[in-house]
Amino acid sequence: MAARFVDCHCHMTADEFLQDTEEVLERSRKEGLRALISVTEHIREFDRIIQLSERYPDFLMPCLGVHPIQNNEDGPYSATLKDLEPALTCFEKYKEHVVAIGEIGLDFTPWLTPTAKEREEQMKVLKMQLDIAKRLDLPVNVHSRSAGRQTIAFLKEQGVEKALLHNFAGRPSAALEGVKAGYFFSFPPAVTRTDQRAKLIRQIPIEHICLETDSPALGPHKQERNVPWNIRIPCDYIASVKGLSPETVSEAATRNALRLFQRVNHRLNR
């Protein structure tokens, strides 16, 4: 039987998909995707992702979250509690719909989050969303740019047990701390652009690896829109790095995804 993939982290409400969302979803299904776990970055996406998931209830699995980097007319900036506040009622309103809380996390990119005060505020935004996830017994879909070690330490400190570290680029030693805590790690097609992550991927056990595309970003080529059916690209790359067959990686990654995202597993099997 052909592999059936779970894309553990994509953005189907991104502007790049506004013109052809349904065509992308239909083709993704035909190309062997079993489910798309679609995250949000800000409250403006919440209603749309819920509406889309209601039209594709056995395929598009929604997550709600406020990303650590927000945007306004002046450009990107580090998230504050003011960005999170209007979203809080939505987590409660849509709690039966979502399969995870995300995309949430930490982003300590120096030019985006230059001060200790901004980093502390980001951590408060993250903590509040982790508390929501724990209260609702949901996993978290986590961003950790320039903050791999800090993010994993914070998740552990907050008692988080179910987490996906998406597009993880931290040190292998930090990742292995996450593995010990039971966390999962996923990698998008962009991982093939250099061999920077090969050492990291070699050290993370296959039992802790999932697959993602981060569509429409992080495709195999810069400046090109990424799509969910590119999920075979990181699958093949991980297989080559680990000396495994692509079938072994796809089966393990799907099994891991369904173990972590239990509501996805339930919706696919009901």
- Condensed to tens digits (0 to 9), the pLDDT of residues 141-198 reads 999 999 999 999 999 999 999 999 999 999 999 999 999 999 999 999 999 999 999 9
We report the CATH number of the domain holding residue 147 as 3.20.20.140
* pLDDT-wise least confident of 2-11, 75-84, 141-150: 2-11
Phi-psi region of 78 (alpha: psi -120 to 50; beta: other; left: phi over 0): beta
The predicted structure's pLDDT at residue 4: 87
Residue 223 lies in a domain: no
pLDDT above 90 (res 263): yes
Residue 204 lies in a domain: yes
The predicted structure's pLDDT at residue 116: 97
Question: What are 161's two structure tokens?
Answer: 């047990």
The predicted structure's pLDDT at residue 270: 79
Whole-angstrom Cα distance, residue 128 to residue 141?
Answer: 14
Contact 184, 253 (CB under 8 A): no
Q: Which residues pair with 10 in a beta bridge?
A: 38
Structurally, the chain folds into a number of domains equal to 1
Residue 135 lies in a domain: yes
Residue 51 lies in a domain: yes
Query: Domain range holding 108?
Result: 36-171+179-215+247-269
Overall average pLDDT of the 39-50 stretch:
97
Residue 97 lies in a domain: yes
How open is the CA angle 148-50-269, to the nearest 5 degrees? 85
Residue 57 lies in a domain: yes
Q: How many residues does this entry show for the chain?
A: 270
The predicted structure's pLDDT at residue 169: 96
Residue 9 lies in a domain: no
The predicted structure's pLDDT at residue 3: 61
Residue 237 lies in a domain: no
